[in-house]
């Protein structure tokens, strides 16, 4: 049985991006380009997706620790990248291979499946698109409708090939590895760049009477690559608009949709409500009936049904339970968890802290490394002093406790159920259940001195 695999070419420097990061790690809506490409391929190829890394390979591998990598130590062209990957692919039992560039963030599963369906029976197939200005894209040369070759833009000579065609190579290929194994040793770097081009396989395959197909994909910009900050910005806006339109069509309510930025990995249920400007990134899920107001940034969070995120709040790797209220001007850091109907108000910050059902911290509070019980009220200005300069310690507060304003809880410390902590206290010892804890100097009133 044939075994398909996918190979992503992600070894290039991307010098025109003017960045220290590899091009494939440049982000669109919070997601690296390479993540957008892998997301389109995984549903089709499952774990049989390989990545060719080269420039700053350590960074690429760190960003995708679960991926299967092939190292291209010297970046000598796309054909050379395939040469490096071929032994591993053959050893893995792959018989057919989809090859795609790592800088096509608009690639979709639908387009991949269309291309594969159109390529059935070919020894070598490649996707083409039509551009009014072909620019630096390789030109597709046909004779009587049949593909004869792909010629790189800098090597294209109108005297040899005729007037410049608008049909260009889109950089996605599907090939039999048996054919590739035969043809690949014959490509050379005798061109103006001194590189080994995968496109040279087309002409060689035609000459050897292999079945070669140029699959025409119209003017679909989903196959266009990103080579500069300008192109990255344009692609990001295209992706943003597509996601916003898809959300509206699915039943998500968007206010000021042109200002709503939702990343490609986020899942927003029908009936959720977002108001722009806002930013929803990473593996965020927002349930039906949840409301995210304007000027919020949400990344890698779970927001349950009926939760409300008020304006100017920042949430990162947090869990917000059903009917919970956050903000305005709240910050939830990684490990923050709000259970059902709990409240975090203005200028409150949580880190590795859980608020139990109905618990409230409504003003000017920091809760770090803490467990807050059901129904407990945290007064304004409360701080859990969780760090002694070397180690982090935990604060435990029970159910229905009341923490007065301007309290410092010096961890490790616990406050029991139904306990009360007096305002202005610095608590360094446990407060048992149903007791009052207070730690402050007795007030003194002294005569006022006048000059």
**Rounded to whole angstroms, how far apart are CA atoms 47 and 67?**
8
- State the DSSP H helix or E strand holding residue 346, giving kind and residue range, or none if neither: strand 343-355
| CB distance 195 to 76 below 8 Å | yes
| Residues β-bridged to residue 323 | none
Cα dihedral value 46, 48, 53, 56, nearest 10: 40
- Residue 88: DSSP 8-state: H
Question: Rounded to 5 degrees, what are φ and ψ at 10?
Answer: -135, 35
Q: Catalytic residue among 209, 363, 391, 429, which?
A: 363
**Rounded to whole angstroms, how far apart are CA atoms 151 and 206?**
14
Helix axes 33-45 and 109-118, enclosed angle (nearest 10): 50
State yes or no: is 363 an active-site residue.
yes
Residue 363 burial (CB count, 10 A):
15
Neighbouring residues of 327: CB distance < 8 A, sequence distance ≥ 6: 293, 296, 309, 310, 311, 312, 313, 344, 345, 346
Nearest to 324 by CA among 257, 374, 254: 374
Could you give the 3-state DSSP secondary structure of residue 341? coil
**Tokens standing for residue 387:** 């760090």
| CB distance 441 to 420 below 8 Å | no
**Rounded to whole angstroms, how far apart are CA atoms 397 and 387?**
17
Could you give the 3-state DSSP secondary structure of residue 10? strand
> Residue ranges of the alpha helices (H) in 255-381?
none
Task: Work out whether strand 27-28 and strand 31-32 pair parallel, antiparallel, or are unpaired.
Answer: antiparallel
**Rounded to whole angstroms, how far apart are CA atoms 365 and 351?**
11
Active site positions, annotated: 363
């Amino acid at each position: 049985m044939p075994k398909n695999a996918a190979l992503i070419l992600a070894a290039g420097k991307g010098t025109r991006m003017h960045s220290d990061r590899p091009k494939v790690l440049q982000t669109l809506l919070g997601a690296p380009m390479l993540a957008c490409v892998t997301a389109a391929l995984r549903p089709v190829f499952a774990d049989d997706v390989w990545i060719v890394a080269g420039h700053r390979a350590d960074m690429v591998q760190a960003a995708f620790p679960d991926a299967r990598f092939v190292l291209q130590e010297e970046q000598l062209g796309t054909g050379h990248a395939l040469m490096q990957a071929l032994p591993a692919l053959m050893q893995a039992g792959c018989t057919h291979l989809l090859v795609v560039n790592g800088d096509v963030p608009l690639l979709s599963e639908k387009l991949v499946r269309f291309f594969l369906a159109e390529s059935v029976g070919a020894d070598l197939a490649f996707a083409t698109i039509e551009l009014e200005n072909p620019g630096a894209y390789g030109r597709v040369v046909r004779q009587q409708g049949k593909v004869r070759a792909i010629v790189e833009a800098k090597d294209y000579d109108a005297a040899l090939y005729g007037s410049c065609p608008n049909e260009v190579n889109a950089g996605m290929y599907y090939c039999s590895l048996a054919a590739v194994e035969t043809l690949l040793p014959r490509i050379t770097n005798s061109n103006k760049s001194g590189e080994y081009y995968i496109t040279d396989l087309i002409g060689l395959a035609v000459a050897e009477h292999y079945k070669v197909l140029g699959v025409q994909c119209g003017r679909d910009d989903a196959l266009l690559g990103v080579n500069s900050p300008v192109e990255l910005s344009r692609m990001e806006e295209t992706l943003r608009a597509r996601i916003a339109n898809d959300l509206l069509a699915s039943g998500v309510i968007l206010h000021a949709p042109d200002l709503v930025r939702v990343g490609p990995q986020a899942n927003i249920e029908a009936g959720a409500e977002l108001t722009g400007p806002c930013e929803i990134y990473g593996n965020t899920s927002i349930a039906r009936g949840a409301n995210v107001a304007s000027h919020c940034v949400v990344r890698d969070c779970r927001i349950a049904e009926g939760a409300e995120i008020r304006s100017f709040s920042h949430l990162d790797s947090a869990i917000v339970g059903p009917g919970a209220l956050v903000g305005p001007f709240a910050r939830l850091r990684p490990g923050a968890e709000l259970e059902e109907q709990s409240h975090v108000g203005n200028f409150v910050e949580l880190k590795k802290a859980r608020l139990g059902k109905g618990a409230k911290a409504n003003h000017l509070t920091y809760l770090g490394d803490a467990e807050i019980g059901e129904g407990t009220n945290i007064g304004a200005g409360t701080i859990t002093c969780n760090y002694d300069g070397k180690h982090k310690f935990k604060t435990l507060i029970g159910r229905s406790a009341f923490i007065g304003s301007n309290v410092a809880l010096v961890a490790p410390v616990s406050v029991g159920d139904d306990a009360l902590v007096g305002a202005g206290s610095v608590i360094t010892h446990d407060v048992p259940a149903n007791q009052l804890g207070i730690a402050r100097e007795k007030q003194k009133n002294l005569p006022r001195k006048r000059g």
